[in-house]
Amino acid sequence: MIRIAVIYGGQSTEHSISCISAGSIMAELPSGEFEVYPVGITRDGDWVEGSFDPVGGATLPEVTAGRRVTLSASPATKGQFTDALTGEVTAEVDVIFPVLHGKYGEDGTIQGLFELSGIPYVGPGVLASACGMDKECTKTIVAAEGIPVAPGVTLRASGPRTLSGEQRERLGLPVFVKPANGGSSIGVSKVERWEDLDGAIATAFDNDAKVLVEGALVGDEVEVGVLELVDASVRASVPAKLNGTDDSAEGFYGFETKYLDDHVTATIPAPFDEELTRQLQDMAIRAFGALNCKSLARVDFFVTDRGPVLNEVNTMPGFTAISMYPKVWEATGLSYPELVRCLVDTALARAK
């Protein structure tokens, strides 16, 4: 029997998505083989004993107060959860599946705790998670690998909060303004007139101390799944092409378009010729390697008329039954339960 903690919720804006993803994953862990210990993290960051059904029929599920638990940071008691008040052991697990997106879940912080305790876990490690979370870091690292990225300017808290005339000329309109560490398109704006630029920059700075202003990439938005197998080889899925991102109400793949309407659909596999498909898969695997990823990642591109350009790398992509990551693997021949099983087995194999 494999004892597995599934951790979900968390302090990021993707709290509810995480609950839904965790519910789908737990439902696919066969009870004959897995003993699941659900752990929820509230929006305030409290760890509590969770539920096997974190959704419970809610549209925007949420982790609420409960029995507070602590994960040991010591290798001597690795994988041990205790009651935060009494110290009583509540569970001992062999592996952790942190189904957490965004800040404090996908950015290397919680991975650091797992490393300290020596407990195997699903997903990339500290460095890859932190680099994948920070869009400036991602772009610098993959560009050094020869993978094209969007032209842009990075604005820091200490410097100017606008673009110079030369920078405006170089990027041209429209530009996209986004927090360097973000997700779910929160704080992202498409700017079509220079008089709207400073407002968009201020909005992005409300979300982060570092902001990217990028020239607009024109072309299909495409997502590729990357997965590490038990033998440590790395595979890329067929690409998914998103339809309707640019003629949505927001004019791009914004928060509302992502979660609140069904305007955007996906074509999986993307209807590309073999060469383009192979090029995307090859770039996704190279980006995965350059960022020092393991386990899994979803690599997002724009296919421009000058070829694919990498937009971002998500190291714990959405994992609901209808999320893009499991869907591209299904189309590649790996079912949802097989995918979950592969991630857990690989985490356990790596720890041996």
Ligand X SMILES: Nc1ncnc2c1ncn2[C@@H]1O[C@H](COP(=O)(O)OP(=O)(O)O)[C@@H](O)[C@H]1O
Residues in touch with ligand X (CB under 6 A): 150, 176, 178, 182-185, 188, 214, 216-217, 221, 245, 252-253, 311-312
Judge contact between 234 and 289, C-beta under 8 A: yes
Give the residue among 32, 31, 6 at the shortest CA–CA distance from 19.
6
Q: Give the nearest distance from C-beta 245 to ligand X in angstroms.
A: 5
Q: Give the nearest distance from C-beta 101 to ligand X in angstroms.
A: 10
- C-beta nearest to ligand X: residue: 253
Q: Which residue has the tokens 């959405």?
A: 318
Q: Give the nearest distance from C-beta 277 to ligand X in angstroms.
A: 20
DSSP state of 268: S
Closer CB to ligand X, 128 or 216, in the complex: 216
Closer CB to ligand X, 78 or 101, in the complex: 101
Closer CB to ligand X, 29 or 204, in the complex: 204
Closer CB to ligand X, 48 or 150, in the complex: 150
Q: Give the nearest distance from C-beta 272 to ligand X in angstroms.
A: 18
What does residue 329 show for φ and ψ, rounded to 5 degrees?
A: -75, -35
Judge contact between 250 and 186, C-beta under 8 A: no
Judge contact between 257 and 249, C-beta under 8 A: yes
Q: Give the nearest distance from C-beta 81 to ligand X in angstroms.
A: 31
Judge contact between 180 and 155, C-beta under 8 A: no
Give the residue among 185, 213, 215 at the shortest CA–CA distance from 201.
213
Judge contact between 17 and 106, C-beta under 8 A: no
Judge contact between 201 and 213, C-beta under 8 A: yes
Closer CB to ligand X, 3 or 168, in the complex: 168
Closer CB to ligand X, 78 or 103, in the complex: 103
The gap from C-alpha 336 to its chain's centroid, in whole angstroms, comes to 17
Q: Give the nearest distance from C-beta 102 to ligand X in angstroms.
A: 9
